[in-house]
Structure formats: C-alpha cells, structure tokens
Amino acid sequence: MTTIPLSKEIFNQVIPIPTLQDLAANSSSSDQQSNNIENDIDYLLHWLSPFWPDNTMFVEPSARVKAAVRSCLRDEASQLDFVKLYGNSIKPKFFEELSPLLLDDRVSLIEAIDKIKFIKDYYSQYIKYLNLNKLPYDILTRNLNSLFHSILVENKKSKFINKLTNYLYEMLFGSERSLQGPVQNYIQVLLSIELVDELNSIIIGLSIKQIKDYILATCTKVWNKPLLEEINHWIKLDLFPSFNLVMRLSSFDFSEKYLYDLIKIAHDELVSLRIKEIFDLVVDYPNSYVALSELHQCLLFKLNSHNTGSNISNLSTVINSNINTSEIDSANSLISISNLSSILINNSASSQAYQRAKLVDTFIQLCHEELLHSGANTVDVITCYTSTIKSFLIIDPKGVLLDRVVRPIRRYLKTREDIIIKLVHGLLDQSENNDLLELAQELRKGKKKTIIADDFMDLTWVPDPIDALPDFKKSKVTDIIESLISIFDLKEIFINEFTQLFGQKLINLHDYDVKDITDHLDLLKLRFGENEFTTLDIMIKDIEQSKTTNEKINCDKEYLFHSTILSHLYWPSVCENISHNDNFKLPDAILNQFDSFDKDYAEVKKGRGLKLIPSLGLVKLKLLIRKTNLSFEVTPDKASVISLFDDKVDELTLANISNLLDMQPYVASKAIDYWVKQNVLKETSKDTYMVNE
C-alpha cells in the first residue's frame, strides 16, 4: 500500500477552495434565497466578470450594480467572506497569466512594470466601488499585493529582481543616469504593490557597491594626501542624490540621517582597504603618515544615537554579511530594512572591535610572510620594528594595538645573534650611511622621565581598553629604544657591547680627544643609568691620564712614539682580543725607545711599570723608494716587517721574516701581501721578497 503525503495541492483537489463561481452556483440552486438576493449576486458577479483583466476598458458600475453591492456586502462579515472568495477567484489567473511574462527574457522590465500597473489599476478601480470597511479593504489589498510578491520575488525562476537591479543601476549610477525622470514613476508602481523592502535592499546594495568601487579606485596605494573630505564630498554630491531618489519615495521617515550612514560605510570600506595595505603602510612610514592618521579617524568614527534612525542606521554591517555586492543581479541579497535596527543594536562597538582585531591579525600575518623569516636582514627587522611603533601609535595612541603587533617581532629579534651589535652601532653612528640613523637621533633626544602613580591615587586613571592583553603596559612600547632594550632580559649585554665598542675607539685615538665618546656616554647614562658604565669611565680616564703622562715625560725627551697607558684590569674587551698569535718581536729601535720610556714612566709613577702590546697601535712611516718619499700609517706588524728590508738586506723569505720577528707565518704573510700591493716589495721567487727599486 502506497502512502501519498498530504500536500496543499492534494488537499485542494480533495476539498476545492471556494470561489465566487461557487457562490454563483449556490445562489442559483438554493430554494432558501429570495429572488432579489439572487439577482443582486448575479449583477455583482456579472460586473466583476471577468476576474482577470482582458484588456477591456473598466466600466463604471450602474446604479443597479451599486445597489447589489450594498445588498450583498451590507456588513463586515459579508465583506470578509466576499474578500476571501474574490481572492481565491483571481489567484489562479495571476499565476497563469503573469508568471510567463516575468520568466521570458524577451520581456523588458518596463513592459513587466506596465503590465503590473495595468493589473493593479484594474483591481483598484473595482475595489473602490465595493465600499469595503477598513479591515476587509486592507485584507483584500494585502492579498492582492501578496500575489504580486509571490510571483515577482518568491518565485525562484522569476528574473524580475535581477532586471530591476540592473535597471536601477544603469539609471541611478550607470551610463543612463542622466535619464532618471521615468524612474520615479516605475518606483511608485512597485511601491503600490508593497515592494518597499526589495527596493530599499536593492538601492542599499547598489550604493554599497558604488562605495566599494570608488574607494578601491581612488584610495588604493594613495597614502600621502587626505582622502576623507574627498570621500564625504563625493557621497554627498554624487552618490546620495541617486540613493535619495529611491529612499525618499519608499521610506516614510526618510531624512538626511541616511547620509551619515553612507559616510560610515565609506569609512569602514576605507578601513578594510587600509587593513589589507597595513604592512606596506608601516614600511613606508613616514610617507604614509596621512593615511595612518585617517585610519585612526575612521576607527574612532562613532555612531550618534541622536542622528541615526531605526530603519537604515548601521548599514555598514551588511557590507560583508548580508548584501552580495560582488554580483549586482543577486536576488538572494535582499534585506529587510525595517529589521536592521533590531539586528544591529550594538553594531558600532562590535564593528570597531572587529576592525581592530582584523588589523592586528592581518599585520602579524604579513609580518611573518614578509619579514620574520631566516632570510631577513636584522637591520630591516629593526627598522620595521621602529616604524611599527610610530605607525601604530598614530592609529591607536593608547598603544593597545601596538602592544599586540610588536610581540611577534620582539620574539623574532631575540633570536638574531647579531641584534646587539647592530643596535649598539646603530645607536652610536650619526652618519647618513647608518640604516638605523633614526635610533641614533632618538638617543640624542634623551629619555623623557615618567612618574608612575598608584592607580588608587591617580585622578586621571581610566581602565585599559577591552582588547588590551592582561600584561599590557603602554610605557613598554611607546619608547622605541627602551622597547628594543627590553627585548632582552638583562641590559648588561648592551652595556658590555658599548664598553667593548668604545674601548676599540679609545685604543685607536691619535690625539687623546675623548669628547665625542664622553658625549655619547652621557646620552647612554641617561638611557641606562648613571652607574652602569663604571668600567668605561675608568677607560676614558686612562686615555686622559695617558695624555698628561706623555706630556710630562716628553717635556724633557722627544720620544718617537706617543703611548696609551691602559689599566689592564679594566680593559677586558682589549685583553680578550689579544691572542698568542698577536705577540711578535718589535724592531730594536722601537724596543730601545720603549725601555727608555718605561724607565721615565717609573719615575713619574712610582712603583709602576709598562708592558708593551705589539699588536696594538699605529706606526707612521716614511720610506724612500725609487728616490721618492712615501708616507704610510700602518699597524705594528706591517711596520716591523718592512723595517727588516734595509740597505744591508737584498732578499728575505717568509721563513726568515717569521724567525727574525718571532711572528706567526700567517701574520707575516698578510703583512708582506700589504707591502706587495703597495708596490713597496716584490716577490722574486716563491715566498722570497725584495724591495721594489
């Protein structure tokens, strides 16, 4: 036995829906009805017939028909019964006659709307003379409009909404926008059959699409000039009039508050574009300063409850979720404007929170793709880090977003082995060739002193923003140098690197002028603390005392060298760099000078002696080669090697030089190579050299 599911169609076949034809049949066969009633029904049905317009002109009812109307529809109960029967009578014809017209591609939208107008006018003229009470009248009108709606909108095969969307686009925003006159008439027809939500939804979707296209066309990669005023101006003078044409007719409470909503949508679209560009914006700072400032303004764009209505306020939420603006003819993207306010109660806060979170996530993702990988240059990462701090403090001065985006960069920088050296050199180098010149300039600005007050005593205290991380502290990220230093657990590694770097500079000083180094040191003390550079203070003092000692010793005797006298306990960076390979025998002329200087020093500094470090220092030489005096300034190893080639020596081998100077062969070969390149020595045979006369 087969079970047939009960459907509306089967139910109607078993128990047909009553119509006016049934009323006519019943009236003619009932013995209980009077002749007058039968005649009234006949006159009424004859006047209403046919129930579907057959392109004939409407005929105004005669006095007899009007009397029949009053008789048959004398009370509201009768009118309600009549309305039900009348609706049942015209429904089949609607689907039979109107549906093919809307499914046919050859039928234009204008032809379809003209047909709708004709049908609507036809029934409106009949309804006008039925003298219905308000309730029956409303029911009949609503049922009639519902029939239109079921065919035009609910029918999945209907192409009416697609055609209407394309038509409105061309007339309001496209090439035909100069011919907007007839549009209002067609809109009025559609409003008369209650397609208000559909019209509103279409115009919203088209307006949003126009905003999207405009933002992409005019704002992409444009970061160096203000755009918000230009956007607002375009919406007010170009977009809003077309939007206004439809919304003014379809909304009972229309006002210019909708203009505010369109501007909010445009600002949100600009935010979406800038989120996609955020990594490039940061890298291009400060050229992107204007764009970053306007991004800050857009993120703070507040919805004013006094200026927005309950119908279309917060339209921006529907951009991505409800309206499919990528396809103009999408009939599935319709939105009920009347429901927007209930759906979007807290849209301002939620949209802003979403944008901020999306901005952070996108930037972090792009950082990993473009920067935080093994092939990245450490200086580039540091530069991006500083640009990130400055850029995100423009976007969010409270520093919450910045605190989130710098964390992965900080973790990555901590893994780079050369980060300390790069930072130290970058902080000290003021030349234009310094890729981290910005850090050097920042160091010279000094550190602003901040006073941290107890929250209970701070009258200006406000809670951290809701999207701040639990350990958020603004001070950690707003100071660039402090932020870089705080990447590492101990600042001593920076202090040690500074000490080693300055130690090398002090060793290479020729004139004992330590002013540049002391100026740097004063800046570092402001940043790291007054008592953190004790060792470096002693090293500088050694250089200053060396100058005094040299002057005192040289006042009586003119030595061939100026000495730098170091306190060996406080020059670990120098002592650590001296290996056994750096020790060699100096020429007797220099050693004799040193021994004499050492004796004089012992007289000045009672009980103290000096130890010569052969590998350190510089030697000024004058050589007579090919009857030409040549001047050189070289390291002691090179001076020692060339000193062996006097008038008494014709040739020396590499082994001879190493033995005579007690110098490692590698060190000796490097010194010889230098003099060969200077065209002072020449190689006569394998590892054998002579003066190039």
Residue that has been written with the tokens 């935080």 in this structure: 372
In this structure, of 174-178, 228-232, 255-259, 661-665, the range with the lowest mean pLDDT score is: 174-178
Helix spans in 577-628 (H): 588-604
Q: Report how far residue 92's alpha carbon sits from residue 52's, in angstroms, rounded to the nearest whole number.
A: 10
Phi, psi of 374 (to 5 degrees): -65, -25
Q: Report how far residue 310's alpha carbon sits from residue 302's, in angstroms, rounded to the nearest whole number.
A: 16
Residue that has been written with the tokens 């002592």 in this structure: 575
Q: If DSSP codes are grouped into helix, strand and coil, which group holds residue 593?
A: helix
Q: If DSSP codes are grouped into helix, strand and coil, which group holds residue 177?
A: coil
| Residue 56 binned pLDDT confidence (cut-offs 50, 70, 90) | low
Most confident of 169-173, 194-198, 378-382, 428-432: 378-382
The pair of structure tokens assigned to 97 is 């006659």
Most confident of 46-50, 123-127, 527-531: 123-127
Q: Report how far residue 56's alpha carbon sits from residue 390's, in angstroms, rounded to the nearest whole number.
A: 77
Choose between 89 and 22: higher pLDDT.
Answer: 89
Q: What is the mean pLDDT of residues 640-669?
A: 86
Angular region, 617: left φ>0, alpha ψ -120 to 50, beta rest: left
Which amino acid does the sequence have at 261?
Answer: D
Q: Report how far residue 187's alpha carbon sits from residue 246's, in angstroms, rounded to the nearest whole number.
A: 7
pLDDT digits (tens, 9 = 90+) for 459-491: 555 565 656 665 556 555 567 888 888 888 778
H or E segment and range at residue 9:
helix 8-14
pLDDT at 660 over 70: yes
β-sheet with 681-685: strand ranges across: 652-653, 688-691, 681-685
Q: If DSSP codes are grouped into helix, strand and coil, which group holds residue 594?
A: helix
pLDDT above 70 as % of the chain: 77
- Identify any residues that bridge with 16 across adjacent strands, giving them in sequence order: none
Q: If DSSP codes are grouped into helix, strand and coil, which group holds residue 623?
A: strand
In this prediction, residue 300 carries a pLDDT of 81
Other CB atoms closer than 10 Å to residue 107's CB: what's the count?
Answer: 16
Degrees to nearest 5, angle at CA 118 with 117 and 124: 85
Q: If DSSP codes are grouped into helix, strand and coil, which group holds residue 692?
A: coil
Q: Report how far residue 427's alpha carbon sits from residue 526's, in angstroms, rounded to the nearest whole number.
A: 14
Other CB atoms closer than 10 Å to residue 591's CB: what's the count?
Answer: 13
Phi, psi of 260 (to 5 degrees): -60, -40
283 and 333 Cβ atoms separated by less than 8 Å: no
Which amino acid does the sequence have at 157?
Answer: K
pLDDT digits (tens, 9 = 90+) for 429-455: 888 888 888 888 888 876 654 444 445
Q: Does residue 286 have a cis bond before it (omega within 30 degrees)?
A: yes
The pair of structure tokens assigned to 659 is 């033995």
In this prediction, residue 619 carries a pLDDT of 83
The pair of structure tokens assigned to 427 is 């902080």
Q: Report how far residue 524's alpha carbon sits from residue 526's, in angstroms, rounded to the nearest whole number.
A: 5
The pair of structure tokens assigned to 458 is 């701070």
Going by the DSSP 8-state scheme, the letter that residue 625 receives in this structure is E
**Chain-centroid distance, C-alpha 219:** 13
Residue 341 neighbours by CB under 8 Å, 6+ apart: 309, 310, 311, 313, 314
Residue that has been written with the tokens 């802003």 in this structure: 352
pLDDT digits (tens, 9 = 90+) for 202-242: 888 888 999 999 999 999 999 999 999 999 999 998 888 88
3-state SS string for 46-69: HHHCCCCCCCCCCCCCCHHHHHHH
Q: If DSSP codes are grouped into helix, strand and coil, which group holds residue 615?
A: coil
Which amino acid does the sequence have at 178?
Answer: S
Residue of 248, 158, 157, 127 lying closest to 196 (CA atoms): 248
Evaluated on CA atoms 302, 304, 308, 311, the torsion sign reads positive
pLDDT digits (tens, 9 = 90+) for 372-419: 988 889 999 999 999 999 999 999 988 889 989 999 999 999 888 888
| Residue 151 binned pLDDT confidence (cut-offs 50, 70, 90) | confident
The pair of structure tokens assigned to 331 is 């009939």
In this structure, of 36-50, 100-114, 123-137, 629-643, the range with the lowest mean pLDDT score is: 36-50
249 and 187 Cβ atoms separated by less than 8 Å: yes
In this structure, of 32-36, 138-142, 194-198, 638-642, the range with the lowest mean pLDDT score is: 32-36
Across the chain, which distance is largest between two alpha carbons, in Å?
158
Measure Cα distances from 235 to 207, 267, 376, 661 in Å: 10, 11, 43, 86
Q: If DSSP codes are grouped into helix, strand and coil, which group holds residue 56?
A: coil
Choose between 449 and 340: higher pLDDT.
Answer: 449
219 and 339 Cβ atoms separated by less than 8 Å: no
Q: Report how far residue 139's alpha carbon sits from residue 137's, in angstroms, rounded to the nearest whole number.
A: 5
680 and 629 Cβ atoms separated by less than 8 Å: no
Q: Report how far residue 583's alpha carbon sits from residue 661's, in angstroms, rounded to the nearest whole number.
A: 9
Q: What is the mean pLDDT of residues 152-161?
A: 84
- Contacts by residues 271-274 (CB-CB < 8 Å, ≥ 24 positions apart): 271/295, 271/298, 271/299, 271/355, 271/359, 272/355, 273/215, 273/216, 273/219, 273/220, 274/298
Sequence length of the chain is 693
Beta strands in 479-568 (DSSP E): none
623 and 642 Cβ atoms separated by less than 8 Å: yes
- Identify any residues that bridge with 619 across adjacent strands, giving them in sequence order: 634
Choose between 145 and 103: higher pLDDT.
Answer: 145
Going by the DSSP 8-state scheme, the letter that residue 316 receives in this structure is G
The pair of structure tokens assigned to 384 is 């991006």
465 and 473 Cβ atoms separated by less than 8 Å: no
Residue of 519, 499, 517 lying closest to 571 (CA atoms): 499
Measure Cα distances from 110 to 164, 190, 203, 443, 614 in Å: 9, 12, 18, 73, 101
